[in-house]
Structure 1
Amino acid sequence: MKSKMKGPVMQRRDQVDGTTTDQRLLDSRGPSDWVHTDPWRVLRIQAEFVEGFGALAELGPAIGVFGSARTAADHPSYAIAEVVGRRLVEEGFAVMTGGGPGAMEAANKGACEAGGVSVGLGIELPFETGLNEWVDVGINFRYFFARKTMFVKYSQGFIVLPGGLGTLDEMFEALTLAQTQKITAFPVVLIGVDYWSGLLDWLRDTVLADGKISQGDLDRLVLTDDVEEAVRIMVDARPQASGAQA
């Protein structure tokens, strides 16, 4: 009697097929439409989370540093970002940025030159090419939401330098998660009084005044020009934050 085991399935008589699963996989490339379907996207999303968790699980305490990719190397914010990266490393933190140019590159440079762990979480974009040269541990993501999860899960706070929409997105993401108690003990410091004061004035005079946020939401933002103050806030939050990102 003709029979065959096909993985865990037994086939007999007329139900026995003449090929193996490996043979069908390897014999022909077949149509490629399946790589653009939602089920396949789910697997790619899963892979991004697996790669991110695997790469960062043993990172240790880290601070996310954000700022504009358009910050020129001769701009004052670039020099400040370098100092931020260096000082965070000196206080025992890894430095995590978006891995791009500008302020991100500067923070990675400061961390790298100080002998610390310089992390870049890049994103696939039509107008940026790879991670900057100062990144020691780099992961490039297809999906923003997977990348954001890594920033919030493996950072214990954010230091935010002058930036545009991407910087604002990361900052407000953290504030929203803190407001909704998805994360706790998560300090957010804005460096650049002249740059950020208008935004904070609007949040206070318009958004808070109209009852759309509470004073506690606004109090989560610390505004300063002092790098040492920003770093000290991250250090002071470290004991409370160490178990907060589970």
Structure 2
Amino acid sequence: MELFLVGIGTGNPEHLTLQAIRALKAADLIIVPRKAGKDDLSELRLDICAEVAPDVAIREFDLPVRDLAEPDYAKRVNDWHDAIAQVWMTAIDGAGRVALLVWGDPSLYDSTLRIAARLSPAPLMTVIPGITSIQALTAAHAIPLNDINEPVVITTGRQLRDAGWPPSARSVVVMLDGECSFQHLPPDEIEIWWAAFAGMPQQVILSGALGDIGPEIIETRARARAAHGWVMDIYLMRRSEKS
């Protein structure tokens, strides 16, 4: 079996690379996950397939639910990934060239590669990079990711909440943050650029001083989640040089 992990950006068909389009067209089967309460995500994948690879067979499958009762976080995630690998194998069912569409890029805060490593027998795997949500964020705001000769830290909401601002960092990108963890920071001298559904038709962006715009981001995010049943958001924060 050949497995193509195809980065699809944020779900906008215009974000697909030529390499991604060719891989989807050449596949014998495209497998599409369904996640409870997030039908829009599978529909976006199906729309992309219909537009760029209408003649390729598609097989949908239900994603297992993570066991939130398991207190050990690492075990909870590992068990979940094992279960996902099993349903992948069932969905693939002996197909030769198989493609799986991955939000953003399979390399950045994504578990697709870890799940694929659990498949048996191991497939011949090709990873096709896609536009990341970080690129979509900076493009939406028309800003660079970093200042001249300045490093950037990419972290999660959980890390920001538990550990605070990363030491020695001036620019911080925060992903996978369902709690608006910037609320735990002293807002003085921090600018924030926030986007929900970056690069998609329903994109929403806000920016400004964290102390001024933070409450509006929280309210806007809640409305977007209520309207769509889910929300994908990301933000960049930068401290002033004197802070």
Fold shared, TM-score > 0.5 on shorter chain? no
Query: With structure 1 as the length reference, what TM-score do the two structures score?
Result: 0.30
Larger relative contact order (CA 8 Å, sep ≥ 6): 2
By percentage of residues, which structure has more strand? Answer: 2
Is the radius of gyration larger for structure 1 or structure 2? Answer: 1
**Greater share of helix:** 1
